[in-house]
A and B are shown apart, each in its own frame.
Chain A
Amino acid sequence: MFAFIIRRLLQSVLVMLTVALIAFALFRFVGDPINNLVGQDTTLQDRQKLRETLGLNDSVVVQYWRYVVNTAKGDFGYSYMHRRPVKTMLLERMPATLELSIISILLALFIGVPMGVYTSLRRDGFLAKIFMSISLIGISLPTFLIGIMLILLFGVILRWLPTFGRGEVVALGTWTTGLLTVSGLKALIMPAITLALFQMTLIMRLVRSEMLEVLRTDYIKFARARGLSNRAVNFGHALKNTLVPVITITGLQLGSVIAFAIITESVFQWPGMGRMFIEAVADVDIPVMAAYLCLIALFFVVINLIVDLLYYAVDPRLRVDGGGSGGHG
């Protein structure tokens, strides 16, 4: 168990170092950082001095290491554009993105899994066929189109929901939440649905096909032959086996939901990190871009780690054999 965690941790660190290298390379190869920091009229000597104080004359390796250490401490430098610490900017924007992403993935899970289970158990049912048809739409329509259609219908025509922004937010310490106000919740509905729809159909289809697969296995047939109730067989035995791969996919999807929130945030002008990244790209604001890159990578790595541990908790086959180690309920 410990060896497993240590190994995964080491792998994670390696991934983060690689991402940091890419982020670091952004600074090195996209223009001269000094040009981005000083005005046109700064003298050559002043530039040279700045170089020295910023450590830009040190060797690449030393600079890279300094970058890694700073990044690990959460010090991402200053935004070229806004002249503010990138860390502060990220912290301001993070709650919006995380709230949107997590609500979306929960939505996708709590609707997608039951729909998947239903369609697999009632394969030939009318409702199951409708679900499957709807899921085709969810899978094939691009996110931004769904967003724009929702805005058109509920925002412009019906005027039920706001078409942009986060509504009123409440500050809980440094975290600003939109989940505690009516206007915040209303503002969340359309972006969350937009972002969730694709994941939802993905999860539903995955659950359906996994479940159908599991229902064909010998141990399900044997469970029926032992006289277990349909409920025990379908939900106790089949669903649990279905959820093993679903956990993995959903976990990995959470990472991409956070990353791909960019599109949804742009459509709904959601004040999250994704939109900040888009703005940073337009402004060639390297520190912001680099910080976003590292942060998203960190999310991916942490989520992966959690998924692995969950997987490990669910599937006894992954636990080390013998020595009564399988003895935990």
Chain B
Amino acid sequence: MAMSASSSDQALLSVRNLRIEFPTRHGTLVAVDDISFDILPGEILGVVGESGAGKSLTGAAIIGLLEPPGRIARGEIFLEGRRIDKLPYEQLRRIRGRQIGAIFQDPLTSLNPLYSINRQLVETIQTHLPLNDREARARALALLDEVGIPSAAERIDHYPHQFSGGMRQRVVIALALCAEPRLIIADEPTTALDVSIQAQIISLLKGLCHEHGTAVMLVTHDMGVIAEAADRVAVMYSGRIAEIGPVQEVIRTAKHPYTHGLMGSIPLIGHHVDKLTQIDGAMPRLQEIPAGCPFNPRCEQATDRCRVERPNLQTAQKSQVACHLFDETGRTGVEARAGE
């Protein structure tokens, strides 16, 4: 397939036909199956989906930190037009932190307990920027100020255990911003936090990225967070993208039956919901993904065709939807067979 043509010119990040597999004794498990999406400069792309939908794996694949035996089996990833998924480890490492920052779910475990905040910031800054110790510390201090750590000058020499969860996540955000990356992959940055501070962290992240023009891939279970922060949203189901489009459109006029179910009740931000499922049943395990549309056992509108033919992403309004209900009538004549 034509790759240069499919990586759109103005996109910051382009993921094309990404497929992630786990070879196991009982055959190969496909955890992410042929997904494509773009993130524009400065844009916040929300990624939602039930547990196991493949959100974290997609993020890990982008920064080249898939854990073996997981591997990218197919597809391409472009950063500012440059293909990065096949880069040697050392070159990709220089991109991590420098051009793509990361924020993980649990701030309590993201920081090394044995080193002071200062040390962890300075070491990250000096990995990517040619600053001496003094300059690096000054930058670290400025970053802590920026992420809203009160009396940062005092706190900078403290150790992680001396900070609360919310404060630690602020430090983690500062660490992700150390080298002014163009993109941040934030994997459930508020899930582990107290509900009362989730909103603060999200608005901090949103504000900072807005100021710095940083794009974010914001993975979350919380539709409230998406509604609050994201420009566009991708809904994932069984390792595929079910629907992707502008956040207002997806929320107001959800097209995919699965998205519809998700939007059944959007909780207010901060009101914690453990499960996104308002739909009967559960997402199939990787070994049991059915043929055709993976959602068909749970879909009320499923037809025979849904059980044999895999729906591809179709344009509908400003969104794209993978559902046969939205196929252009008569289709384009191409008999796209499911997953090949």
- Which B84-113 residues have a C-beta within 8 angstroms of A? 89, 93-98, 101-102, 104, 106, 109-113
Interface residues of B, CB < 8 Å — how many?
36
B116 adjacent to chain A (CB < 8 Å): yes
Decide yes or no whether A326 CB sits under 8 A from chain B.
Answer: yes
| Interface pair B175/A226, CB less than 8 Å apart | yes
Q: What's the Cα separation between A182 and B98 when bound, in Å?
A: 56
Q: B114, A316: Cβ atoms under 8 Å?
A: yes
B157 at the interface (CB under 8 A from A): yes
Which of A215-257 touch B at CB < 8 Å? 217-219, 221-230, 232, 236-237, 240-241, 244
Interface contact A221-B157, CB-CB below 8 Å: no
B136 on the A face (CB < 8 A): no
Known: A227-B98, A228-B127, A232-B123. A317 touches B65 (CB 8 A): no
Is B44 in the interface zone, CB < 8 Å from A? Answer: no
B161 contacts the other chain (CB 8 A): yes
Question: Given A221-B65, A222-B104, A326-B159, are A227 and B114 neighbors across the interface (CB < 8 Å)?
Answer: no
Q: With A317-B159, A322-B162, A327-B158 known to touch, is A227 a contact of B112 (CB < 8 Å)? A: no
Contact between B127 and A227 (Cβ–Cβ < 8 Å)? yes
B178 adjacent to chain A (CB < 8 Å):
yes
Closest to B89 in A: A230
Report the separation of the CA atoms of residues A229 and B124 in the bound assembly, to the nearest whole angstrom: 10
A227 touches B109 (CB 8 A): no
Residues of B within 8 A of A326 (CB): 116, 157-159, 162
* A219–B157 touching, CB < 8 Å: no
Tell me if A321 is interfacial: C-beta within 8 Å of chain B.
yes
* A214, closest chain B residue (CB): B112
In the complex where A227-B98, A229-B93, A241-B114 touch, is A218 in contact with B104 (Cβ < 8 A)? yes
Q: How far is the CB of B331 from chain A (nearest CB, A)?
A: 42
B156's closest neighbor in chain A, by CB?
A327
For window 46-93 of B, CB contacts with A under 8 Å fall at: 63, 65, 89, 93
Q: Contact between A225 and B113 (Cβ–Cβ < 8 Å)?
A: no
Contact check, A227 vs B113: say whether CB atoms are below 8 A apart: no
Residue B154, interface by CB 8 Å: yes
Cα–Cα distance between A91 and B170 once the two chains are bound (Å): 59
Write out, one digit per residue, whether chain A residues 21-35 have a CB within 8 A of any chain B CB (1) or not (0): 000000000000000
B112 contacts which chain A residues (CB < 8 A)? 219, 223, 237, 241
- Cα of A240 to Cα of B116 in the assembled complex, Å: 13
Choice from B89, B97, B104 contacting A221 with Cβ under 8 Å? B104
Interface string of B118-131 (1 = CB under 8 A from A): 00000110011000
| B65 in complex: contacting residue of A219, A225, A241, CB < 8 Å | A225
A173 sits at the interface (CB 8 A): no
Residue in A closest to B111 when the chains form the complex, CB atoms? A219
Interchain CB contact (< 8 A) of A232 among B96, B127, B178 = B127
In the complex, the answer to whether A218 meets B162 with C-beta atoms within 8 Å is: no
Contact among A226, A316, A327 with B127 in the assembled complex (CB-CB below 8 Å): A226
For residue A185, CB closer than 8 A to chain B, the reply is no
A219 to B175, alpha carbons, bound, how many Å? Answer: 12
Pick from A221, A237, A316: contact of B159, CB under 8 Å: A316
Contact residue among A228, A317, A321 (Cβ-Cβ distance under 8 Å from B124): A228
Contacts of B250 in A (CB 8 A): none
Chain A residue at minimum C-beta to C-beta distance from B125: A226
Say whether A329 faces chain B, with CB atoms less than 8 Å apart. Answer: yes
Q: Which residues of B contact A39 (CB under 8 A)?
A: none
Complex Cα gap A217–B157 (Å) = 23
- Interface hits, B127-163 → A, CB 8 Å: 127-128, 154, 157-159, 161-162
Digit string of B160-193 for contact with A (CB within 8 Å is 1, else 0)?
0110000000001001101100000000000000
Q: Which residues of A contact B (CB under 8 A)?
A: 217-219, 221-230, 232, 236-237, 240-241, 244, 314-317, 321-322, 324, 326-327, 329
The 9 closest A-B pairs by CB, nearest first: A227-B97, A225-B102, A227-B96, A218-B109, A316-B159, A226-B97, A222-B110, A219-B112, A327-B157
30 inter-chain pairs at a CB distance below 8 angstroms, sorted by A residue, are A218-B104, A218-B110, A219-B112, A219-B113, A221-B65, A222-B102, A222-B111, A222-B172, A222-B175, A224-B65, A224-B93, A226-B96, A226-B127, A226-B178, A227-B97, A228-B93, A228-B123, A229-B93, A230-B93, A232-B127, A236-B123, A237-B112, A315-B113, A324-B154, A326-B116, A326-B157, A326-B159, A326-B162, A327-B158, A329-B116
